[in-house]
Structure 1
């Protein structure tokens, strides 16, 4: 669903911000006020091409941004294309005065063709714009299948699965048929890689454990060296502090026997020697608690080096290395397979092709049976929409079997009796294509398709009872889709749950477009204007109130 549209410097529209909601929104205003600029702004966000003349005179660039609440199908497409799948989708387009265009999806730069793919999944625009799914014959098959419903969906799912399996089996058969020398070279390489990884005996989480042990052992090595040096200096070396203190004490005791004043110095030296002995015991205890194994340290370093080399060749982690090992074993087993394996694949392909062909045949029959009924229903709707002589038909032609079956389908159209039916893109005007789409969507109500429908020119040539019927059908359609209509017809505008007015004014001697959402009293005045023209009478106001009460 379209939630918000912001447009800046688009032709005569300097700045506009529109809030949309579910249901039926009508956009009204005098001719030339700029209503179709809103359609153009939306289509730009959906990937339609444009030129620099869209930029307001004197502005450096035109900027349009649309905010969508995307459906699940669009979220899956965004995820597939790498743009995330948030609950809010931002589409932005900038067109410089020099002609350069920049597209963003959720703030990230994107090419125009990707923006168009996203846009095609969000909205159908019907008017003088490219974003019209009915003009793309490649999408007609999906329209019919969506209308058919579960019967077509089940067959398409089976066909798509078989098509994928057949492609994979065919690929394996081609590998079998590849040059023997190339296959042997591949087999030798895989044998070497499998042997290298298996001989290494890689275990999950091994590198982390080894690095932890390495850190501990390196710490033990440093500690051992420090305590050894302390022991050498204190008591274990050739010139140790303990020996020097003992010699000093003996000499001082001899001196104290002669001079008693030296007795305190002897006592202090004796205390120092005792303290040093206690320190020596502490050093020895510390040395006994150290777990230092130089051989283990060297072993760990070598193992980590091996794991590093394997990681550079086969994957960053033990998990990816082991996954590569399993994949290589599977490939090796496949390459080492006998001719019987090739025959098995050929047999499987033949069986799949048989089932594939049968399901494609069932789907073709189903489409052929239902296409006429679908076209008749659309024709009935067109008659009610003021096109009693219009006719729609579906032509089904065979094509090479693919994931969607073995059919090409195109809708053909003629607006008047006796005219040759031709592709919609070649014969339908903007107003006609809008009514054809309204008829199609009415027939398909609740059966899939994009969530937002935007109509321009749907009221071309309408009046009286036909306009009232179109208005009613748009209102009914809005129960299943978000419907936005640009209209000049009061019967259509009055059926909308929300109305937006477009006005053209002069500001500082320049034409500008102003956009605003109308409250109830403002809607009465606007619909009265649509009924009566510039001079709004009390009768026109009463008629407007009557229309809005329906």
Structure 2
């Protein structure tokens, strides 16, 4: 419910602060006093676009701030979805800057107008004859029927299933398209994959093959150089080992004379051991080297295969070729198994479709069961509101496809006159009739669901005193479970309020300002008397006003 409202520097309002209570709140005032200004300010709270022309002093900031008690509204999910901090006492603020820019805040968090609209429509419903067009909207009509049919949980399950169903259908369509494209490329991918698989690629083998190729291709030259090296080390006369052995022998004798000779002897001995090892390794390399034309052809052939593949796939390493092979393998496997994947997806879709049909049938059954009750209640209420011949024919037809709220299409048909033909509501009901129908629907809805605060803007226009009295009674009943405001010119309605405010203009320093004042009992008597008989209040008008209030 709306608990507080602050308006600064907006239209004819310099500064206004007012607190509201539960129940039925009446707002009265002369034509042009500024009731529309109040509604305009509240519209900004609901996310209406700001207009700099509404700012009273364009050198100052305009502020409209409203506090709502939302503890009973079950809005935590909305706050979470919009990434807002939930507060049971939620403050919504709009600011219009002198530059013309507008800012919006929910609990001091900056928000977009879209977020403001999403939350605002859950908090405050400003109803005028213009808003009665909502009656002709399918979504609203379904909302009414589903509220009475208690379909909320069923629709929640249905919506979740429908989202998953549509997602699977999208995925299936994508898979089928992918299959068509993949089949065209399958032969080529399979060819490339077989070519890479036949190459039997091993990570790091290119470098090994190149080394082996160089060795096999130059085996005679390598053997000759190894032989020369071995001979230079082991020749009996001039070999390095022979000469070093002779030097070792000499220092063996010298080491007995001084430790410094012994040190050199040990170093010579160490070098000789290393040279012997080198000589043995050279000899082993010699013995292992043999010309192998067959192996050379094998290595050369493998190198050509690898190099051709590197060039073909425009890469520089065997590792990259292996990665390409794995990717091609995945594509070929996926293509060859797409039928299985598609079949599994189709099975899942069929399962979901069966569930959706079952849920939608239950939803439809509940709707069909409640429609006669809704028609009866509407016609009964409208009869008390001066429309005794109002008749409804609500038709529910099954759709071929799944819709957002089931598998039904809806027609709200209406006839205002006895014996009249049923036609679409928007074509057959006048503005005044639509207002009364909306009041009837809202009064019925208030018994089945937690509605936001509602503000009726002169919904009583053009109705008689007796009908207005019935209207007031309906609004009074609604106000037992929700907060109701009504802006009225009729004393019969004004007298039914739990709280009564008057909108009025007055001049301050030759500047006209609009103010809102809460009336006490005496003030209400005078106000209602003036509504009955004009500004010159008579004793009979006072008596009549007291009677209405009692």
1:353 equivalent in structure 2: 353
Secondary structure class of the residue paired with 1:495: coil
CA distance in 2, matches of 1:411, 1:95: 41
CA distance in 1, matches of 2:145, 2:381: 16
1:2 equivalent in structure 2: 2
2:441 equivalent in structure 1: 440
2:512 equivalent in structure 1: 511
Q: Residues 461, 519 of structure 1: CA spacing in aligned structure 2 closer, same or farther, 3 A cutoff?
A: same
Contact 2:6 2:66 in 1 (8 A): yes
1:153 equivalent in structure 2: 152
Deviation string 1:192-242 (CA, Å, 9 cap, x unpaired) is xxxxxxxxxxxxxxxxxxxxxxxxxxxxxxxxxxxxxxxxxxxxxxxxxxx
TM-score (norm 1): 0.64
CA distance in 2, matches of 1:538, 1:140: 48
CA distance in 2, matches of 1:386, 1:521: 32
Describe how 1:316-331 pairs up with structure 2 within 5 A: none
2:89 equivalent in structure 1: 88
Deviation string 1:244-293 (CA, Å, 9 cap, x unpaired) is xxxxxxxxxxxxxxxxxxxxxxxxxxxxxxxxxxxxxxxxxxxxxxxxxx
**Following TM superposition, by how much is the alpha carbon of 1:66 offset from its aligned partner in structure 2, in angstroms?**
1.4
Q: Which one has the largest radius of gyration? A: 2
Contact 1:9 1:61 in 2 (8 A): yes
**Following TM superposition, by how much is the alpha carbon of 1:370 offset from its aligned partner in structure 2, in angstroms?**
3.2
Deviation string 1:481-537 (CA, Å, 9 cap, x unpaired) is 110111111111111111111111122222211111122222222222222210112
Secondary structure class of the residue paired with 1:47: coil
Q: Residues 399, 465 of structure 1: CA spacing in aligned structure 2 closer, same or farther, 3 A cutoff?
A: farther
2:489 equivalent in structure 1: 488
Contact 1:124 1:132 in 2 (8 A): no
CA distance in 2, matches of 1:58, 1:404: 47
Q: Residues 520, 399 of structure 1: CA spacing in aligned structure 2 closer, same or farther, 3 A cutoff?
A: farther
Secondary structure class of the residue paired with 1:117: helix
2:37 equivalent in structure 1: 37
2:14 equivalent in structure 1: 14
Secondary structure class of the residue paired with 2:126: strand
1:237 equivalent in structure 2: none
Q: Residues 479, 343 of structure 1: CA spacing in aligned structure 2 closer, same or farther, 3 A cutoff?
A: same
**Following TM superposition, by how much is the alpha carbon of 1:178 offset from its aligned partner in structure 2, in angstroms?**
7.2
CA distance in 1, matches of 2:429, 2:57: 35
1:462 equivalent in structure 2: 463
Secondary structure class of the residue paired with 1:377: helix
1:166 equivalent in structure 2: 165
2:535 equivalent in structure 1: 534
Q: Residues 98, 338 of structure 1: CA spacing in aligned structure 2 closer, same or farther, 3 A cutoff?
A: closer
TM-score (norm 2): 0.64
CA distance in 1, matches of 2:442, 2:73: 20
**Following TM superposition, by how much is the alpha carbon of 1:116 offset from its aligned partner in structure 2, in angstroms?**
1.1
Aligned length: 399
Contact 2:7 2:63 in 1 (8 A): yes
Secondary structure class of the residue paired with 2:74: helix
1:78 equivalent in structure 2: 79
Secondary structure class of the residue paired with 2:84: coil
Describe how 1:90-489 pairs up with structure 2 within 5 A: 90-96=91-97, 99-127=100-128, 133-134=134-135, 136-149=137-150, 152-167=151-166, 169-170=168-169, 173=172, 179=178, 342-396=342-396, 398=399, 400-409=401-410, 411=412, 418=420, 421-424=423-426, 428-429=430-431, 431-489=432-490
CA distance in 2, matches of 1:50, 1:125: 17
Deviation string 1:381-429 (CA, Å, 9 cap, x unpaired) is 1221223454555454537314521234354556667587445499653
Q: Residues 20, 505 of structure 1: CA spacing in aligned structure 2 closer, same or farther, 3 A cutoff?
A: same
CA distance in 1, matches of 2:338, 2:524: 79
Contact 2:66 2:91 in 1 (8 A): yes
Q: Residues 109, 423 of structure 1: CA spacing in aligned structure 2 closer, same or farther, 3 A cutoff?
A: farther
Contact 1:124 1:133 in 2 (8 A): no
**CA-atom RMSD, angstroms?**
3.4
CA distance in 2, matches of 1:481, 1:535: 36
Secondary structure class of the residue paired with 2:476: helix
Q: Residues 389, 372 of structure 1: CA spacing in aligned structure 2 closer, same or farther, 3 A cutoff?
A: same
Runs (5+) with no aligned partner, structure 2: 190-333
Identify which range, 130-139 or 451-460, moves more after superposition.
130-139
**Following TM superposition, by how much is the alpha carbon of 1:89 offset from its aligned partner in structure 2, in angstroms?**
1.4
Deviation string 1:294-321 (CA, Å, 9 cap, x unpaired) is xxxxxxxxxxxxxxxxxxxxxxxxxxxx
Runs (5+) with no aligned partner, structure 1: 186-333
CA distance in 2, matches of 1:57, 1:393: 53
Contact 1:164 1:403 in 2 (8 A): no
